[in-house]
Amino acid sequence: MSRTRYLDLDDRNEDARELMRERPRDAKTFMEKYELSWVYHENAIDGMVLTHAELLQAFQPTGIMDSSMVHTYQEIRNQKDAIDFIKSEAKSKTPTKYNLTLVKKLYEILYKDLPNRMPPTFRRDMPLHRTYFHDIVQPIQIQPGLEQLFDFMASEEFRKMHTVKQATFSHHRFMEIFPYSDLSGKVGRMMMNLILLRGGYLPVIVHSSDRQRYYEGLRLPATQFGAVIMDAMDNTHDNIFKAFNPAYDETARRKASSE
């Protein structure tokens, strides 16, 4: 990935942050909608498509609740709890330790109070029918694979990487390891966004319309997968600029940046 692309993202991120600092009330409204969108697309990526009404019902239960949706609503609330957790962790003055304890914590938050709750034990098989179709390691390789990943994430080499490269590389490798039969994708994306938040970036949303590209990106080398996430980050910036300036023309901006 070219250094120019990283610098462009840095500039756009700072512009977006500046807008939000200057207009805190508008920023609060935008982030409330953004997090609702985040929950929607996180679930859609893994195959659960929700309506706007269902999301609101889960967060602000009023009236009679559809009993058939109770567990779905719990999953949605768990997703919001995981978002709140990484936001809090990102603000902590203590450096985040990327390790198995963090992974298990995210897993447990996402599985809280669900009837099909499974303990955070590593998968023991190679699932034939799953949402993702990229190559994953054999079960015997999960523990050493995670240890190697977390050792690298604690290294000086990793710390010297650009924040976006840290996030995309670690997520790509985590998804190759795919420690759990269920929730590996959600856990991995939460950890990726924690890295971005700690680095001063906004969390990235992989939109459901980009679901196939995301899946296919996981089958590519980490450097190429990074382009998928960086495009999603560009989309976030465009949404902020449009929300704060309705006259903003993202098509013209992208054309100008490519010239």
- Kindly provide the b/e burial profile for residues 139-162, where b requires at least 16 CB atoms within 10 angstroms of the residue's own CB: eeebeebbeebbeebeeeebeeeb
Structure tokens at 154: 């604690």
Question: pLDDT tens digits for 37-72?
Answer: 999 999 999 888 888 888 888 887 655 566 778 888
| SS3 of the chain | CCHHHHHHHHHHHHHHHHHHHHCHHHHHHHHHHHHHHHHHHHHHHCCCCCCHHHHHHHHCCCCCCCHHHHHHHHHHHHHHHHHHHHHHHHHCCCCCCCCHHHHHHHHHHHHCCCCCCCCCCCCCCCCCCCCCCCCCCCHHHHHHHHHHHHHHHCCHHHHCCCHHHHHHHHHHHHHHHCCCCCCHHHHHHHHHHHHHHHCCCCCCCCCHHHHHHHHHHCCCCHHHHHHHHHHHHHHHHHHHHHHHCCCCCHHHHHHHHHC
User: Is residue 160 over pLDDT 60?
Assistant: yes
Residues 218, 175: Cα–Cα separation, whole Å: 8
Residue 117 pLDDT grade (very low, low, confident, very high; cuts 50, 70, 90): confident
In the block, which residue shows the tokens 């499974």? 118
Mean local confidence (pLDDT), 26-32: 94
Mean local confidence (pLDDT), 104-109: 96
Domain that holds residue 254: 3-258
Q: What is the pLDDT of residue 64?
A: 56
Mean local confidence (pLDDT), 20-46: 93
Residues 244, 259: Cα–Cα separation, whole Å: 26
Question: pLDDT tens digits for 169-197?
Answer: 999 999 999 999 889 999 999 999 999 99
pTM value? Answer: 0.91
Domain count, the chain: 1
Task: Please report, for the domain that includes residue 102, its CATH number.
Answer: 1.10.3290.10
Q: What is the pLDDT of residue 257?
A: 56
